[in-house]
Amino acid sequence: MKKTIELLKQNNELTVIDAQLDIYLEIPHLAYAEVKKKDGGKALLFTNVVDNKSGTKFSEDVFMNVFGSYKRCELLFGRTIESVADEITNLLHMKPPEGFMNKISMAKELFSLKNIFPKRLKGRGACQDKIYLNEDIDLYKLPVLTTWEQDGGPFITMGQVYTQSLDGELVNLGMYRLQVYDKEHLGMHWQIHKDSSHFFDQYQKAGKKMPVTVAIGGDPLYTWCATAPLPYGVNELLMYGLITKKPVQLVKSLTTPLYIPKDVDYVIEGWVDTQEMRIEGPFGDHTGYYTLEEPYPVMQVSAITTKNTPTFLATVVGKPPLEDKYMGWATGKIFFPLLKTTVPDLLDYHMPENAGFHNLILAKMQPHYKGHAKQFMHAFWGAGQMSFVKHAIFLDENSPKLNNYESLSTYILNRFTPKTLFISEGILDALDHSSPETLVGGKLGIDATAAHNVEAPQLLGDEELLEKIQEIVPDATGVHQYMRHTKNPVTVISVDKSKNAKEYFEALVSLSTNIRIVVFVDEAKNDLLNPYMLIWRVTNNMDALRDIFISGLMVGIDGTNKSSVDGFTREWPDDVDCTKEIVDALKEKGLWDLDEEIYKKYQL
């Protein structure tokens, strides 16, 4: 971690903040603002950290926004992201060599692979310089942040969670939300689909407690590895060896059988009683909404160890863009070759940050036959973490670059008809709030691999169109038309909602000569001239099985908040919003320098 701080200093990628700041809201709010700046701002090192509620002054620094730019990602990887992807591609396509020199070359390549395997050491590591056992265990001695006003408490955001199967044959490294309940209990927010949850099931059936060790800090690549979407049973730390050409050196936890990197900054060891569950949350999360209170397993802490001078690594969650934008960029590029083993005709894919990754994927493919894109949809929805994707648009090899949104949207809308829609049902991320039930909901695929001849509608100006709409739908308060130059313009209508949006859509069918794709959003908290956040809102709020309506060439999308008017029985969470008093206080201290236009653009 010290080397990382020095590396970022040398490359002008670090801001040191010496002003006294609180772990409650102040530090997270500053980090949240920083990552919204151009190119992700700077990494932040907070050197004067306090907890005003308890009167605690922490000796350690808090380090944030470490991965928060493309440049910093490549600095931390020590090489280009593309070179890692190329190496994986070469390994996947390795063939028996022909000729003596080719055999020598392959031998060297294979010999270098010996360094990818983690190495277990005897004795203790630097992460165990300080040891806290029994009555000395106190999670509140760590500068764990409380990020948002409605959060259920502080939680560890960059924890490396090490677990193993019941028989000890398989190990897993994951990243999960870890709520601090009290001095010696942590919540384990591993979702039902994750490897740690599978291990938990094994211990639960055997009636045994489950060992867990949480590490914080060390080489930031350990933390990135915790997010790597590797197949079940594959040790994520293999990626560290592949990237750095050095094996991770591991030491055994003091009170659990688990091994962790010797140079992490903090180690929290403990045991999960598989018979005990505790309400976890609510917490603002990377969806930009608060996730709901739900029961999750609890870890009883059996030991805390640290380096002599540790640094506390943390991140911040909320509305996009966030640090995960850049971590996800690296992950997408690196694991593209593995995804191609499932879908060989995939040419490229991209997950727009403002759709929260799982809410939308754009995929370019080489279509070979009728229905090929639909086959791709099924493959995507059955491939590891891709199975959580809610909405997917598939394009052919002639489409524009997937991050050229203006050209790409034009290309899609000029080829679109309602018959290109494919609606299904499947698993959802546990953080999704929009579907009628947890973990399962609607999936939407759009096949834009082939062009369809459709006549463009007869467009009206926004003001004239709003007048016509309000005659039919009095609840409408505003309208804006996007992509007017295409055959399928997108008309966004804000409503002061008093009924289900399907009724609004059915009433507007009489205007089918003037409108083609209609998106309904609530008047409150939405800006019709802010497409970045409208996409965030709508892809979060819609369930394809319930919220897509079709009549002839017209398609309606309900992006409103759901309530009893819609027959929605789950609790609908609040947006994650900055606390005004905290922002004002940071301004008074001369620390908040985020441009007001950026603040409004990202609806902070």
Q: What is the mean pLDDT of the chain?
A: 93
When pLDDT is cut at 50, 70 and 90, the band that residue 390 belongs to is very high
CA-wise closest residue to 454 among 409, 489, 405: 489
Query: Can you give the pLDDT at residue 112?
Result: 58
Confidence of residue 180 (pLDDT cuts 50, 70, 90): very high
Using an 8 Å Cβ cutoff, are 292 and 281 in contact? yes
Candidate ranges 8-12, 229-233, 454-458; pick with highest mean pLDDT: 8-12
> How many residues are there in the chain?
604
Q: Which amino acid is at 81?
A: I
Enumerate the CATH 3.40.1670.10 domain ranges in the chain, comma separated: 324-448, 462-566
Architecture of the domain whose range is 462-566: 3-Layer(aba) Sandwich (3.40)
Distance CA 443, CA 386 (A): 12
Model confidence at 86: pLDDT above 80: yes
pLDDT class of 102 with cuts at 50, 70, 90 = low
- Residue owning tokens 């409650």: 24
> Percentage of the chain with pLDDT > 70?
96
Average pLDDT over residues 459-463: 97
pLDDT recorded at residue 195: 78
Topology (CATH level 3) of domain 2-314: Pnp Oxidase; Chain A (2.30.110)
Q: Rounded mean pLDDT of 400-408? A: 96
Q: Please choose, from the candidates 184, 178, 188, the residue with its C-alpha nearest in 3D space to the C-alpha of residue 153.
A: 178
Segment (H or E) for 215: strand 210-216
Instruction: Tell which wins on pLDDT, 344 or 148.
Output: 148
Is pLDDT at 226 greater than 60 in this prediction? Answer: yes
Q: Using CA atoms, how far apart are residues 241 and 115, in angstroms rounded to an integer?
A: 6
Percentages of the chain per state (helix, strand, coil), in multiples of 5: 30, 25, 40
CA distances (Å), 31 to each of 48, 132, 147, 343, 472, in order? 15, 30, 10, 38, 46
Binning pLDDT at 50, 70 and 90, where does residue 106 land? very low
Task: Read off the pLDDT of residues 265-319 as tens digits, 9 standing for 90 and up.
Answer: 999 999 999 999 999 999 999 899 999 899 999 999 999 999 999 999 999 999 9
For residue 8, give the 3-state DSSP assignment.
Answer: helix
R_g of the chain, CA atoms, integer Å: 25
For residue 522, give the H/E element and its range: strand 517-522
Which ranges in the chain are annotated with CATH 2.30.110.10?
Answer: 2-314
Tell me if 220 sits within 8 A of 67, measured CB to CB. Answer: yes
Is residue 383 scored above 80 in pLDDT?
Answer: no
Residue owning tokens 């099931």: 201
The candidate with the shortest Cα–Cα distance to 602, out of 532, 529, 501, is 532
Average pLDDT of the residues in 410-427: 95
Find where tokens 């205007």 sit.
511
Average pLDDT of the residues in 407-434: 94
Question: How do 21-22 and 56-57 pair as beta strands?
Answer: unpaired
For residues 358-384, give the mean pLDDT. 88
CA 599 to chain CA mean position, Å: 21
Contact 454, 461 (CB under 8 A): no
pLDDT value at position 344? 86
The hierarchical CATH code for the domain 324-448 is: 3.40.1670.10
HSE-up of 151 (CA within 13 Å, CB side)?
30
Is residue 382 scored above 90 in pLDDT? no
The first and second tokens of residue 438, run together, are 């947890």
Half-sphere exposure of 590 (CA within 13 A, CB side): 3
Q: Would you say residue 194 has pLDDT above 90?
A: no
Could you give the percent of the chain with pLDDT greater than 90?
Answer: 83
Alpha-carbon gap, residue 242 to 116, rounded angstroms: 5
For tokens 């306090």, name the residue.
50
Q: What is the pLDDT of residue 339?
A: 82
